[in-house]
Structure 1
Amino acid sequence: MVTKLTGQQTADAGLVGWVHLSDGLRTRITTGGFAAGLALVDAIGAAAEQADHHPDLDLRWGHVDVRLWSHDADGVTQRDVDLARTVSRLAADAGLTHDGTDLQSVELALDAPDGGAVLPFWQAFLGYERRPGADDEVRDPAGAHPPVWFQPSGSDEPRQRWHLDVWVDPAAVQGRIDAAVAAGGRVVDDAQAPSFWVLADADGNRSCLCTWQDRRDGG
């Protein structure tokens, strides 16, 4: 059985330039052009085939985004850490730099008194699927769009229908909070920090900034 690593275990691995978000280990490699990016993708592909473990690669003109995730463990494993080191080495060999500090993953949450009653509609409407053991969310089978999960709320309490869960690197979260507050927002609740902070805009619409830290499920 493949063992899922916690966020802290991943951090202790000492990876440089990688961040652990809700959807896996991620980094962005700056290439400066399409040809260099394509050559790097080829090199990563060859290494992935050799390791029999395959990352998600997003090739753009000036960068390549890499995401590592072990589907059989539904999380980050030692295989991902090992392949991350290989990717870092291949980037360095090509004279390229990589950094994940500014990367983020976004989840959509719907406040609902009875999530189970509306989940099938959203699954069908979005063409999403359920994951085994996850009865409160639906996900894009291709992994290209944000997952949707259903936040329990009282039937009589005022509620915001939608809010965002935005996952960032722990090193980046305070800067993001400061920028949001400077832009007219406020911190509503930090009782669950450093797992997440609840922020609101000037109209009171709430969303959460999340990290892997101090999570019961291991992050």
Structure 2
Amino acid sequence: MATTLTGQQIADAGLAGWVHLSDGLRTRVPTGGFAAGLALVDAIGAAAEQADHHPDIDLRWGHVDVRLWSHDADGVTQRDVELAGTVSRLAGEAGLVPDGSGLQSVELALDAPDAGAVLPFWEAFLGYERRAGAPDEVRDPAGAHPPVWFQASGSDEPRQRWHLDVWVDPGQVRGRIDAAVAAGGRVVDDSQAPSFWVLADADGNRSCLCTWQDRQADG
């Protein structure tokens, strides 16, 4: 099994235009049209077959999104870093520039005093499945929709039912916080930064901005 890389190891690889989020190593390549995007997808597909390592690709009219994740290691590995370099090279040869700065991944979290009592319901209701080594979450088998995880909370403490975990590139955090505060929100807790910041809207509903930084285990 391949070894999962830490967030810092991924950052040290210096992949321009790529971001490391909760669901993998990702980029977006603006193409300006469908034909250019399709040609890039064909080139990436051929390279992926040669490497025997296959990315998730989303082709749209004006861009191509690429996500890299080693399923056997349940994380980002050196294979992903190498294939990211190949994708960047192929994009460059086509006169295109990868830019992941606008990408984010979203997770849904349910505060629950007894996660074990409600997790099976959401697994069945959503048609999700459990992932080995992650007993507190359920995931879409196709990877098309956000995962749901269950955060332990005291039965008597004030809590909200749902909150969002929004993963962004570290370079995007300050602008996102400033915009949220300007829109009437506030930073509730930054004691865990740069791992995550807790923000709230004017009614006190809380959500977290998350990055890969300062985490004991990535994934």
TM superposition score category, shorter chain reference: over 0.9
Matches within 5 A, 1:119-198: 119-198=119-198
Question: d(CA) in 2 for partners of 1:218 and 1:39?
Answer: 33
Instruction: Give the distance between the partners of 2:149 and 2:25, measured in 1 at CA.
Output: 21
Aligned to 1:12: 12
Give deviations 1:186-219, integer Å, cap 9, x for gaps.
0000000000000000000000000000001135
Instruction: Give how far 1:108 is off.
Output: 0.1
Q: Which residue of 2 aligns with 1:24?
A: 24
SS in 2 for 1:98: coil
Deviations 1:37-72 (A, max 9, x none): 001000000000000000000000000000000001
Taking only the aligned residue pairs, the percentage that are identical comes to 88
| Superposition TM-score, scaled by structure 1 size | 0.99
Could you tell me how far apart the structure 2 residues matched to 1:29 and 1:166 are? 21
Equivalent residue pairs, number: 219
Deviation string, structure 1 residues 87-116 (Cα, Å, up to 9, x no partner): 000000001111101100000000000001
Letter of the 2:64 counterpart: V
Distance 1:111 1:27 in 2: 31
Secondary structure, in 3 states, of the residue corresponding to 1:58? strand
Structure 2: segments with no counterpart, 5+ residues: none
Distance 1:2 1:56 in 2: 19
Alignment of 1:82-97 (within 5 A): 82-97=82-97
Q: What amino acid does structure 1 have at the position aligned with 2:204?
A: G
Q: Secondary structure at the match of 1:199?
A: strand
- CA-based RMSD of the aligned residues comes to 0.6
Tell me how far apart the structure 2 counterparts of residues 155 and 3 of structure 1 sit (CA, whole Å).
39
Q: Determine the structure 2 residue equivalent to 1:98.
A: 98
Cα distance in structure 1, aligned partners of 2:102 and 2:178: 15
Check if 1:36 corresponds to 2:36.
yes
Task: Return the letter of the residue paired with 1:171.
Answer: G
Matched with 1:73 is 73
String of CA shifts for 1:131-154, please: whole Å, max 9, x gaps.
011100000000000000001000
Partner secondary structure for residue 98 of structure 2? strand
Q: What 5-or-longer segments of structure 1 have no aligned partner?
A: none
* Residue aligning to 2:109: 109
- The aligned residue for residue 218 of structure 2 is 218
